[in-house]
Amino acid sequence: MADDQQRIAWGLALRTNLGALEELHGIVAERIERQKALDEALEEALQRVGSERLDEAGALAALSRASDDAARRARLIAVRLEAALLEGKIDDEAFKAANSAAFPRGGQAIGNTPAQRFEALDRIASVLADHPAADPGGELAKLATEGAQAIRDANVSATREQPEHKDANEQLTKARHAWDEGYLATKEIVTGLLRDAGRLVEQRQAFPDL
């Protein structure tokens, strides 16, 4: 059948063209109204899919930003821990205990995915809470906790958009199917009326897809 833009254009043209054929039978006016409802349902479904696509893209972009921010936070914490050691703010024992547990694979190894980076920050926050001597005042633990929470919130939003996007696409599929069936039904009905009236030549004038 047609694509969505053709459906919309054909539906509008059909309703306009059928106006001149209403004298054939009362059902023609009914088919015009039916086509109008099908056109509106299709347009609404298309708008919803477009809106959901934008929402989903926005949610995924927010998750990506939170993930990038998490990576920066983790690396900043690693640098500040080392700086605190060099500046004598924490002793060597506290640094080694916290650093080895918080960064078991090194300060740059924090994963590539949002899930991996969430786990890294969550681990870092937990380790620093268990080693307060390495984080006087809890500033670094706060950095980690806030970053992990940002990923969690962004992931919740992205996950919430998935079923909405799926539902919108399912509704669009139904609207397309209903439109196709309705258009073909109208074509059969009006073609039959034109044939009975000896005016079949007017079929091409009524249906834009012919």
**Element spanning 96, H or E:** helix 92-102
Task: Using alpha carbons, select from 72, 71, 16, 64 the residue that is nearest to residue 39.
Answer: 16
Helices (H) and strands (E) in the chain, counts: 6, 0
* 135/129 Cα distance (integer angstroms): 8
| Assigned CATH topology for domain 4-206 | Ferritin (1.20.1260)
Q: Which pLDDT score is estimated for 4? A: 95
List the domain boundaries for the chain: 4-206
- The pair of structure tokens assigned to 77 is 């914490």
State whether residue 98 is helix, strand or coil.
Answer: helix
Residue 71 to residue 87: CA distance in whole angstroms: 24
22's CB contacts (< 8 A; 6+ apart) are 28, 29, 32
The residue to which tokens 């929470």 are assigned: 149
pLDDT tens, position by position, 101-136: 888 877 667 888 999 999 999 999 999 998 888 898
Residues of the chain with pLDDT under 50: none
Query: Which pLDDT belongs to residue 107?
Result: 63
pTM of the model: 0.73
* Residue recorded with tokens 């080392």: 82
Residue 98: the pLDDT is 86
> Cα separation of 35 and 56, whole Å?
31
